[in-house]
Amino acid sequence: AGDGDCGHTHARAAQAIWEWVHAQPLPAAPAQLLSALADLLLEKMGGSSGVLYGLFLTAAAQPLLNRSDLPTWADAMDAGIEAMQRYGGAAPGDRTMLDSLCAAAQALHALRSPGADLLPVLTAAVESAEAAAEATRHMEAGAGRASYISSAQLLQPDPGAVAVAAVLQAVLEGLRS
């Protein structure tokens, strides 16, 4: 789907993150961490995915400048998605990474409830992202690289949506360990 480089682009990003994590102490403040990660992905990831993740992380960092409680993380997710939609031009239902991100964000809204428990909410968000990624298999591409390809040739789920679900799953696994 698209130009076929999604896996390579995400592998490049994963390698850059791995090297970064092992080369220096990470910023302790969430906003600084997300901003530094945005810069890293903009520099090392490449492709439209690198730009979109950079936009997402830069915008997501803003709500976390003064607070980092669970409701603010839900706000950060919403801010990141809004930036991706504004600058990328896609919307949920367009068969893009936004389908997974928006599904996860809906589940993460539970973080705004008093007494929310992070791991169960994040587990639900990952499950929602995975289901949304699978649902892209049957969508007409309205944006992104896949929109240049005949829908008859789009037989797999959107690679960007699948990648987002995998990234969220990795975050969940990291928090569990």
Superfamily of domain 5-176: DhaL domain (1.25.40.340)
How far apart CA 18 and CA 117 sit, in angstroms, is 28
CA distance 92 to 136: 10
Domain residue spans of the chain? 5-176
Check residue 5 and give its pLDDT.
77
Global pTM? 0.88
- Rounded CA-CA distance 53/15 in Å is 15
Point out the residues of the chain with pLDDT beneath 50.
Answer: 1-2, 148, 152
pLDDT at 148: 46
pLDDT for res 7: 84
> pLDDT digits over 114-159, tens only?
999 999 999 999 999 999 999 988 867 555 555 545 554 556 788 8
Q: What is the model's pLDDT at position 8?
A: 87
